[in-house]
């Protein structure tokens, strides 16, 4: 077997054989296939796709590249959630402790930022002392004692995906549906969770730009999970507008804590509760009320224990960017559109994301929103504040915001898009 023939097969729109898939995943994991060669194959997959048999075999090969975890020793059922990525999507942060407060165990393996979308681990690492890297034994201990853990996949869990995940981020191949599906599901199946809820984003700020693609991805992942014995459900949710009022690492942690304290933006609260209900139902827990767990402080208690168990200080001040720039409304009226992609790119350019897999991120960088579609604004009113430690980035970020919002005359009717657009099980 040789990598050139594998690349040519997919380049020429052929179907990869099981033997080709098994070999190329194993060879890439061992370093026999170079990054530039796997980049070429990933681009061919992006352009020419994979059928269901190829995706299933690719996922199985990713799982086989490492170990599998088991949570049978826990006294409560396990439920996990995964989002395909969006702008301002901090839902995992309040969701994991919320579901734990309602009686499930949440083994949440999360990732870092991909392109213009934020990464859960990058966000949590803005909390002083918090550790993303845990051994399997540490992960199980945190899960058993606090009910929830959010951490990076260990080196032994789908190591092929760990390499390919970072490569996709910097080679323009993030959007490939087969690679998204296999990346997510290989980790989740190997992780050993009993049930899984998928938040498949669609819209300008998501990797899936239209509903048909989002539905295809959701069906693919639900099938992969179901075929592997994991009860899997997908919600397709809107990502045409940023979630909440922040996009950036420490900024989103602050907003998540507000949600856990019983406040926070209405859209973040709505989606958090919707996903919590799905996770609890999938885990077989029927009598819990996630809205009550937010209101009575029990979700916050689980958050504090979870953060402390991973070395973080839940009372520590979060990092704040050294420089700010305010964007004001050019005219009065009704804000009718705020493009998620433009805001996400601005946050990325300000330092909240990375251009290369080796790049650091700025904890305090990002975009803070002061208005959302449907709000009435006046000329000169702040629309958003840009945060960064490197003010030379402001012009670059502002360029990405050009044309990202519309203001209609006062009195213009506005109809908000529902957050949850479809459910696939």
Residues 403 and 340 in one domain: yes
**Rounded Cα–Cα distance for residues 172 and 81 (Å):** 25
Contact at 8 Å (CB) between 319 and 125? Answer: no
Residues 8 and 131 in one domain: no
Catalytic residue, chosen from 81, 82, 354, 387, is 82
> DSSP secondary structure string, 78-103?
B-EEEE---SS--THHHHHHHHHHTT
Residues 137 and 180 in one domain: yes
User: Which residues lie across from 150 on neighbouring strands?
Assistant: 108
Residues 141 and 258 in one domain: yes
Query: How many domains are contained in the chain?
Result: 3
Tell me, what CATH number does 8's domain have? Answer: 1.20.970.10
Q: Is residue 380 part of a domain?
A: yes
pLDDT at position 170: 81
Residue 375 contacts by C-beta under 8 Å, 6 or more apart in sequence? 334, 335
Catalytic residue, chosen from 112, 163, 187, 304, is 187
List b or e across 155-171, with b for residues whose CB sees 16 or more CB atoms inside 10 angstroms.
Answer: eebbbbbbbbbbbbbbb
Residues 254 and 402 in one domain: no
The yes-or-no verdict on residue 371 having pLDDT over 90 is: yes
Domain that holds residue 359: 323-408
The yes-or-no verdict on residue 349 having pLDDT over 70 is: yes
Q: What is the pLDDT of residues 181-232, one digit of tens each?
A: 999 999 899 989 999 999 999 999 998 999 999 999 999 999 999 989 999 9
The yes-or-no verdict on residue 169 having pLDDT over 80 is: no
**Rounded Cα–Cα distance for residues 334 and 375 (Å):** 6
Q: Is residue 57 part of a domain?
A: no
Residues 149 and 264 in one domain: yes
Residues 30 and 141 in one domain: no
Whether 161 is catalytic: yes
Q: Is residue 236 part of a domain?
A: yes
Q: What is the pLDDT of residues 276-329, one digit of tens each?
A: 999 999 999 999 999 999 999 999 999 999 999 999 999 999 999 999 999 999
The CA R_g of the chain, rounded to the nearest whole Å, is 21
Average pLDDT (20-32) is 97
Residue that terminates a domain, selected from 255, 286, 309: 309
Contact at 8 Å (CB) between 142 and 309? Answer: yes
pLDDT at position 111: 82
The yes-or-no verdict on residue 391 having pLDDT over 70 is: yes
Whether 423 is catalytic: no
The yes-or-no verdict on residue 357 having pLDDT over 70 is: no
Residues 293 and 337 in one domain: no
Whether 168 is catalytic: yes
Higher pLDDT, 117 or 140: 140
pLDDT at position 231: 96
Catalytic residue, chosen from 116, 123, 168, 188, is 168
Contact at 8 Å (CB) between 282 and 231? Answer: yes
Catalytic residue, chosen from 126, 183, 256, 400, is 183
**Rounded Cα–Cα distance for residues 42 and 173 (Å):** 6
Residues 104 and 234 in one domain: yes
Q: Is residue 73 part of a domain?
A: no
Whether 183 is catalytic: yes
Whether 332 is catalytic: no
């Amino acid at each position: 077997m040789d990598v050139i023939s594998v690349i040519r097969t997919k380049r020429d729109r052929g179907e990869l054989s099981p033997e080709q898939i098994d070999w190329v995943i194993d060879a890439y994991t061992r370093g026999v296939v170079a990054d530039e060669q796997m980049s070429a194959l990933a681009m061919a997959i992006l352009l020419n796709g994979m059928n269901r048999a190829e995706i299933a075999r690719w996922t199985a090969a990713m799982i086989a590249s490492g170990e599998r975890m088991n949570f049978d020793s826990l006294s409560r059922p396990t439920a996990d959630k995964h989002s395909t990525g969006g702008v301002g999507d901090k839902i995992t942060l309040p969701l994991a402790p919320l579901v734990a407060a309602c009686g499930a165990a949440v083994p949440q393996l999360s990732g870092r930022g991909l392109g213009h979308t934020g990464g859960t681990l990058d966000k949590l690492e803005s909390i002083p002392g918090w550790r993303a890297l845990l051994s399997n034994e540490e992960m199980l201990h945190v899960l058993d004692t606090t009910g929830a853990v959010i951490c990076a996949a260990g080196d032994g869990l789908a190591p092929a995906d760990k390499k390919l995940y970072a490569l996709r981020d910097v080679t323009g191949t993030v959007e490939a549906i087969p690679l998204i599906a296999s990346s997510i599901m290989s980790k989740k199946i190997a992780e050993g969770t009993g049930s899984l809820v998928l938040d498949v984003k669609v819209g300008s700020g998501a990797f899936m730009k239209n509903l048909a693609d989002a539905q295809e991805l959701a069906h693919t992942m639900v099938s992969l999970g179901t075929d592997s014995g994991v009860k899997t459900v997908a919600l397709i949710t809107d990502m045409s507008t940023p979630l909440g009022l922040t996009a950036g690492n420490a900024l989103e942690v602050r907003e998540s804590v507000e949600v856990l304290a019983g406040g926070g933006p209405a859209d973040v609260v709505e989606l958090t509760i919707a996903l919590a209900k799905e996770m609890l139902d999938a885990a077989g827990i029927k009598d819990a009320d996630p809205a009550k767990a937010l209101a009575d402080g029990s979700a916050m208690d689980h958050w504090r224990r979870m953060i402390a168990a991973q070395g973080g200080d839940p009372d520590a001040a979060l990092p704040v960017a050294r420089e700010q720039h305010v964007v004001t409304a050019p005219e009065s009226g009704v804000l009718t559109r705020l493009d998620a992609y433009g805001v996400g790119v601005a946050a990325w350019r300000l330092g909240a994301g990375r251009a290369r897999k080796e790049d650091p991120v700025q904890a305090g960088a990002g975009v803070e929103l002061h208005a959302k579609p449907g709000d009435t604004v006046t000329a000169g009113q702040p629309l958003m504040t840009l945060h960064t430690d490197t003010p030379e980035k402001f012009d670059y970020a502002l360029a990405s915001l050009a044309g990202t919002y519309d203001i209609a005359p006062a009195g213009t009717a506005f109809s908000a898009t529902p957050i949850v657009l479809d459910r696939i099980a």
